[in-house]
A = this chain, B = another copy of it.
């Protein structure tokens, strides 16, 4: 006979307390007397009680669920951040619904609606929401919206990231200091990549360098594009001495193709990446990249969520910075 699964009542009856007290014990153990808590713990054990969070969500209007909206996870530069975030949140018993917004974000609006329907405690965005109506919708949804990686002037709600323009500028400074003369940029067609490229070029010209050449590539960027980007160098009037790639994937592919063509990296051609994925440090030569601290972002996300739960104020823009990691490739 299939006996009904235990509810809060059942645990309460067994422990000789009211359902309210069991609920309190589960959510704020410190407000329940120690002896009572012990009895409840035992009753939970004996009954094999598993809480029904759907009921909890309905009653408390808190789902302990957050939605992370990302373009993809196959070869994503955000994976480290997402992973760190899921880990960090798990310690607070918060789960992450992963939603894929796809190429050119075409699934963004339906996934936002789904997140709202699930009454998630927060929506984490890794991409940029450029549509004004959607931005407005998110603003008025009465929900925490965290934009990560970027650091827009006017966040929807809270932004945790860094200035992509500054990252581009910093890379220009770094390469110039290393003595490179003719940079070539491989730029994924995304707002942030463009911003980094913009920063790079502005700084490079400002420091008296010649106008860098550039190649724009489709997103999502991947290893294969690096190979193609290397071949495209042949079309340039003059060979660059360093290629600044929009992602570590591209950098890795470009290095592989360059080496296959007999080029020595970095002696004959230097290369830089972006994102500091694990492979950047593992590659041969190791890849000079820009590190974004995913774990730091994750911790800040936690802090914002806790502040919101507690009802305290948080900054609208949280700068976690970036670091150029000098390695062998440039």
**A residues whose Cβ falls under 8 Å from a Cβ of B:** 5, 50-55, 57-58, 63, 65, 72-75, 79-80, 82-83, 86-87, 90, 93, 95-100, 102, 107, 110-111, 113-114, 116-119, 142, 222-224, 227, 253, 256-257, 259-260, 278-279, 281-284
CB distance from A312 to the nearest CB of B (A): 20
Write out the residue numbers on chain B whose beta carbons fall within 8 Å of the beta carbon of A51: 117
- Compute how far the CA of A118 lies from the CA of B52 in the bound complex, rounded to whole angstroms: 6
Closest to A2 in B: B142
Given contacts A82-B73, A283-B223, A284-B260, contact A114 B95 (CB under 8 A): yes
Given contacts A223-B279, A227-B284, A278-B223, contact A100 B90 (CB under 8 A): yes
Contact B95 A107 (CB under 8 A): no
- Compute how far the CA of A306 lies from the CA of B153 in the bound complex, rounded to whole angstroms: 46
Contact A53 B118 (CB under 8 A): yes
Write out the residue numbers on chain B whose beta carbons fall within 8 Å of the beta carbon of A74: 79-80, 83, 278
Given contacts A54-B58, A58-B55, A223-B279, contact A100 B86 (CB under 8 A): yes
Contact B117 A53 (CB under 8 A): yes
Write out the residue numbers on chain B whose beta carbons fall within 8 Å of the beta carbon of A53: 117-119
Given contacts A256-B256, A284-B257, contact A50 B87 (CB under 8 A): no
Given contacts A50-B116, A54-B54, contact A253 B227 (CB under 8 A): no
Contact A99 B95 (CB under 8 A): yes
- Compute how far the CA of A281 lies from the CA of B100 in the bound complex, rounded to whole angstroms: 24
Write out the residue numbers on chain B whose beta carbons fall within 8 Å of the beta carbon of A224: 278-279, 281-282
Would you mind naming 13 contact pairs between A and B with Cβ atoms under 8 Å apart? A52-B117, A53-B119, A73-B73, A75-B279, A86-B99, A90-B110, A95-B114, A95-B118, A96-B97, A222-B282, A224-B281, A227-B282, A257-B284
Closest to A253 in B: B282
Write out the residue numbers on chain B whose beta carbons fall within 8 Å of the beta carbon of A256: 256, 283-284
Contact B54 A118 (CB under 8 A): yes
Contact A98 B86 (CB under 8 A): yes
Contact A114 B97 (CB under 8 A): no
CB distance from A291 to the nearest CB of B (A): 15
Write out the residue numbers on chain B whose beta carbons fall within 8 Å of the beta carbon of A114: 93, 95
- Compute how far the CA of A82 lies from the CA of B257 in the bound complex, rounded to whole angstroms: 30
- Top 3 nearest A-B pairs (CB, nearest first) are A224-B282, A54-B57, A98-B98
